[in-house]
Structure 1
Amino acid sequence: MTRIIAGFAGSLTLHVPRSGTRPTSDRVREAIFSALESRDAIEGASVVDLYAGSGALGLEAASRGAAEVALVERAKPAAEVCKRNADAVQRAARGHAAVRIRVIPRPVATYLEGAAGGIDLAFIDPPYELGEAALTRDLELLAPLLTDDAIVVVERSARSPEPAWPAGIEVDRRRDYGETTLWWAGRAPRQPVRPSQPE
């Protein structure tokens, strides 16, 4: 059983797709959100949950004060579950600050290619069988969409190699939780533009 841990929708039970997804454990979600709240990284944030599955990570952020959340999930059954869970969280939000939750039933790369940017917080929790080249492509597309203080959390198998970080994203730290590894990363500092030398 998967539940929202804290916030206005705390203890709300979430539906989980019957197959094809691997929900983040409560222990790992608690670790993620404890770290994010210590950085004051959720309140008012624009959040994307890529390979959303049930939407648990993005909806946890919504419950804790994110301003807008995009749940990106190409598999139709999982996207339908995301919609049911998002509707339940929206109902629980009555009387609290408005949060905009969108469910986007498209491939991650397609979504990122057309996204407007301004992303403060990105969760990337792909199937463990996703190839490293595909993950690298996702990160390359995500990089220019991040705000300067953005945080990127990538969840992978502990047996998977470190992601290939593209220009624009730099790794901060790694944390292991049994078979799960979290990679924390952020927007790489922008290089100052050097004034052109007079000829």
Structure 2
Amino acid sequence: MRIIGGSLKGLRLNPPKNLPVRPTTDLAKEALFNILLNQIEFEDIDVLDLFCGTGNISYEFASRGAAKVISVDRSIHCINYIKDTSRRHGLDQIKIFRADIFKYLQLETDPYNLIFADPPYDLNQIPEIPKIVFDKNLLKKDGLLIIEHQSMQNLSNHPAFVEQRKYGHSSFSFFKN
């Protein structure tokens, strides 16, 4: 796993093998950030990273100048790894919370410029994520919700759906406020 842009560009991270994760591949992450590069200014945005796992996406946004990155996962091992890695590399804008994602979303009131969710592919509640985000107004004006999911899954029935980009077995679905 490596950081592909920003102040930590090129940094290689080696998370423990025993973390319960399926990290976004470098190829897919690079494609995602190339798309975002043409849509948003990274500096000073607020990001919510759901199902953050190793923190791969959180580090990328922090490296590119995000003002605030909230990383949420239910695994204490993932949380501890992100805390340690953030501290070691001076990523003070990353705040980490251990929580069930759906409970966290129900309690969250702050809006974000960008919300990224990378749930386990076999999670049945993936289509609930955009519903909760938009029902609770968790995106700022022109904010983006991006959900990584299996390519065979279709999330286009939500009214805020914009597009789906496929990268092998993984896809990113984009929703805009």
TM-score normalized with structure 1 length: 0.81
Query: One-letter code of the match for 1:66?
Result: A
Contact 2:133 2:139 in 1 (8 A): yes
**2:147 alignment counterpart:** 154
Q: 1:163: Cα distance to partner?
A: 5.9
Corresponding residue SS for 1:3? coil
**2:160 alignment counterpart:** 170
What is the rounded CA distance, in whole Å, between the counterparts of 1:15 and 1:116 in structure 2? 34
**1:195 alignment counterpart:** none
Corresponding residue SS for 1:16? coil
**2:118 alignment counterpart:** 125
**2:97 alignment counterpart:** 104
**1:142 alignment counterpart:** 133
Q: 1:162 to 1:118 in 2, by over 3 A?
A: closer
Query: Aligned ranges for residues 5-154 of structure 1 at < 5 Å?
Result: 5-17=4-16, 18-90=18-90, 100-131=93-124, 134-143=125-134, 144-154=137-147
Query: One-letter code of the match for 1:68?
Result: K
Corresponding residue SS for 2:127? helix
Contact 1:16 1:54 in 2 (8 A): yes
Deviations 1:153-189 (A, max 9, x none): 1111112232652xxx6111111111111111111xx
Q: 1:82: Cα distance to partner?
A: 1.7
Query: One-letter code of the match for 2:133?
Result: L
TM-score normalized with structure 2 length: 0.90
Q: Flag the structure with larger Rg.
A: 1
What is the rounded CA distance, in whole Å, between the counterparts of 1:15 and 1:163 in structure 2? 35
- The CA RMSD over aligned residues, in Å, is 1.7
Q: 1:89 to 1:139 in 2, by over 3 A?
A: farther
Query: One-letter code of the match for 2:62?
Result: A
Alignment size in residue pairs: 174
Q: 1:139: Cα distance to partner?
A: 2.3
Q: 1:162 to 1:116 in 2, by over 3 A?
A: closer
**1:190 alignment counterpart:** none
Contact 1:52 1:58 in 2 (8 A): yes
Query: One-letter code of the match for 1:177?
Result: Y
Task: Specify every segment of 5 or more residues in structure 2 that has no aligned partner in the other structure, as ranges.
Answer: none
Identity of aligned residues (%): 28
